[in-house]
Amino acid sequence: MTRTRMNVAEPRVAIVGAGPAGIYAADILLGLSPTATVDLFEKLPAPYGLVRYGVAPDHPRIRKITDALHEVLTNPRIRLRCNVEVGADIGIAELRAAYDGVIVATGADLDVPLDIPGIDLPGSFGAADFVAWYDGHPDAPRSWPLTAESVAVLGAGNVALDVTRILAKHAAALAHTDTPDIVLEQLAASPVRDVHLFARRGPADVRFSALELRELADQHDVDVIVDPDELVLDAHAERMIEQFSQRRIIVRTLTEWASRTPSTKTASRRIHLHLRQRPVRLLGTAAVTAIEMERTASDELGRMVGTGEMLRYDVAAVYRAIGYRSTPVPGMPFDAERGVVPHVEGRVTDADGARIPRLYATGWIKRGPVGLIGSTKSDAAQTVRHVLDDLGDLAEGPAQRAADPLDALAGAVDFAGWLRIDDAERRAGAERGRERTKLVARDEMLGHALPIGEVVR
C-alpha cells in the first residue's frame, strides 16, 4: 500500500526568486493543484527579476511581460514577500522544514570573468553591472563613468547588442521609457563617438538574434559600420547558413551594411561591428587606453583558431558581455564549474548525485544563463510536475507545519507594499509624461512600501 504524506491535500510550497521562472512556477503549480498555496520570496523590494532589471529600456514590448507576471501575483493563493533574501534573512533549511516543497529560482546576476591581462584596470566593466546601472537596480552604483569617446564591447550575444545599443543611443531616445532620471542625465552627458563590438567568431557563428541585430541600425544619428573583408564566408560559415535560416538572415543583414558606401555615413555616433577577433589584453597603466585583439579563423571542423595577427584599438572603456553566472545561495548545493544548482529535471541533488528531498530548482539557476523569458515557462512546468509527483512520496519526509515562517520576517514587502511602489513609480512617470519612472534607491522604495518604522535595511 502506498502511504501518502499528511500535507498532500493542501500543499504549501516556497519559491525563492520572483523573476519570471519563479512566477511562472507559482502560476503552473497553482493551476495544477487547486488546493496548493505558494509563498514567494524575493530579495529585492520589487518582483520580476531580469524582466525589470535586465531587459533593455528601449524594449518596452518585452518589459510589458511584467503585466502578465503581475496578473499571476494577484492570485490570493500567493503570498509575495519581497525584500527577503533567502540565505540571509531566512535559511534554505528553515524553508525545507516548513514547506512541502522549496523551488529555488534565483537566476543569474553576475558577469562571467575574463582572464586576460589588464582586465582589472579602471575603465574595464562587466555588462551585468552596466545593465543593472542603466536599469535602475537598487544595488547598482548611482553614477557610471561615461567618459570615454571610444569604447569596446566584447561578446556576440544579445546582451552585447543591448550594451552596444544603449552606449551608442542618444539619451533623448530613451526619454519616454521607464529609465530613472539619474541614468538619463548621465547618458545625455556621454561623449561617446565610437562603439566597437567584437565577435570572436565569424558572421555565421554569432549568438545574437537577427531582430536584435537589425535594431542597431534603427537608431537616430547612429551609423553601423561593417568591414566587408571580415564577412568573407569560409566553408564552415557556408554550412551554417545553409542549415540555419536565422544565421542566413544575420549574414544578409551584415552584408547589406558592409556594402553601404562610407559617404552615406554622417552620423555623430558610430557602431563598428568586428568579426573574428578575440581579446588578448587591455593596455594602459592608470586606466584602459587600448585593447589588443587577435584575428581568428575557423578550422575545418568549425573550431575557432588564432591566426597570430594582432590588432590594436584605442579605447578608453571596455565592456565584457560574455555571459552571466549565478550567485550560489547559502545552504544550496552549487556546481561552481557549470554555475548552476546540480539537479535531475529540477530535483536538486547533492555533490554525490543523491536527491535532496523537497528541494527543487528552475530558471537560469537550473539551466544556466541562456534562453529567453518564454523558455523559463516550459522549464518551470518540468520542475513543478516533479514537485507535485513527489508530494505523494513518504520518502520525501514531512514538513513541520508548526509555525508560519512569514510571521518571523520583519521588513518584508508584501503584494500590497509592492503595489504602493508601483503606484509611486506610475505617478513619477505621469509627472514626466511617461507610463512609469523607476525608483532606484532601496530606502526610497521601502519608504513607499512599508509602514513607518518597518524600513529595516
Ligand X SMILES: Cc1cc2nc3c(=O)[nH]c(=O)nc-3n(C[C@H](O)[C@H](O)[C@H](O)COP(=O)(O)OP(=O)(O)OC[C@H]3O[C@@H](n4cnc5c(N)ncnc54)[C@H](O)[C@@H]3O)c2cc1C
Binding site for ligand NAP (CB under 6 A): 114, 154-160, 162, 200-201, 207, 212, 278-279, 321-324, 369-372
Task: Kindly tell me which of 75 and 209 has the beta carbon lying closer to ligand NAP.
Answer: 209
Least separation in angstroms between residue 355's CB and ligand NAP is 29
Residues 6+ apart with CB under 8 A from 121: 282, 284, 287, 288
44 sits near ligand X (criterion: CB under 6 A): yes
**Distance (Å, rounded) from C-alpha 294 to C-alpha 312?**
9
Instruction: Answer yes or no: are the C-beta atoms of 393 and 407 closer than 8 Å.
Output: no
CB atoms within 10 A of CB 221: 13
Pick one of 39, 162, 178, 194: the residue that binds ligand X (CB under 6 A).
162
107, interface contact from ligand NAP, ligand X, none, CB < 5-8 Å by kind = ligand X
Task: Kindly tell me which of 21 and 156 has the beta carbon lying closer to ligand NAP.
Answer: 156
Q: What is the DSSP letter of 145?
A: -
Transcribe 403-416 into DSSP letters: S-GGGG-TT-B-HH
Instruction: Answer yes or no: are the C-beta atoms of 418 and 83 closer than 8 Å.
Output: no
69 sits near ligand X (criterion: CB under 6 A): no
What is the per-residue binding string for ligand X in 368-407, x denoting contact by CB under 6 A?
---xxx--x-------------------------------
User: Given phi > 0 = left and psi -120 to 50 = alpha, else beta, which region is 46?
Assistant: beta
322, interface contact from ligand NAP, ligand X, none, CB < 5-8 Å by kind = ligand NAP
**Distance (Å, rounded) from C-alpha 76 to C-alpha 370?**
32
Least separation in angstroms between residue 96's CB and ligand X is 15
Angle at 115 between CA 113 and CA 117, to 5 degrees: 130
Least separation in angstroms between residue 104's CB and ligand X is 8
Residues between 295 and 354 with contacts to ligand X, criterion CB under 6 A: 324, 329
Instruction: Answer yes or no: are the C-beta atoms of 294 and 307 closer than 8 Å.
Output: yes
72, interface contact from ligand X, ligand NAP, none, CB < 5-8 Å by kind = none
28 sits near ligand X (criterion: CB under 6 A): no
What is the per-residue binding string for ligand X in 104-123, x denoting contact by CB under 6 A?
-xxxx---------------
155, interface contact from ligand NAP, ligand X, none, CB < 5-8 Å by kind = ligand NAP
**Distance (Å, rounded) from C-alpha 391 to C-alpha 7?**
8
**Distance (Å, rounded) from C-alpha 113 to C-alpha 324?**
9
Instruction: Answer yes or no: are the C-beta atoms of 39 and 64 closer than 8 Å.
Output: no
Task: Kindly tell me which of 103 and 184 has the beta carbon lying closer to ligand X.
Answer: 103
Pick one of 180, 363, 405, 417: the residue that binds ligand X (CB under 6 A).
363
19 sits near ligand X (criterion: CB under 6 A): yes
Pick one of 20, 118, 155, 202: the residue that binds ligand X (CB under 6 A).
20
Least separation in angstroms between residue 206's CB and ligand NAP is 6
Contacts 24+ apart (CB under 8 A), 185-193: 186/143, 186/144, 186/146, 187/134, 187/146, 189/146, 190/146, 191/146, 191/147, 191/148, 191/149, 192/146, 192/148, 192/149, 192/150, 192/151, 192/167, 192/168, 192/269, 193/149, 193/150, 193/268, 193/269, 193/270
200, interface contact from ligand X, ligand NAP, none, CB < 5-8 Å by kind = ligand NAP
Instruction: Answer yes or no: are the C-beta atoms of 396 and 13 closer than 8 Å.
Output: no
Which grid coordinates are listed for 125?
A: 566593466
68 sits near ligand X (criterion: CB under 6 A): no
126 sits near ligand X (criterion: CB under 6 A): no
Where does this chain bind ligand X (CB under 6 A)? Answer: 16-22, 41-44, 49-51, 54-55, 59, 62, 85-87, 105-108, 131, 159, 162, 324, 329, 363-364, 371-373, 376
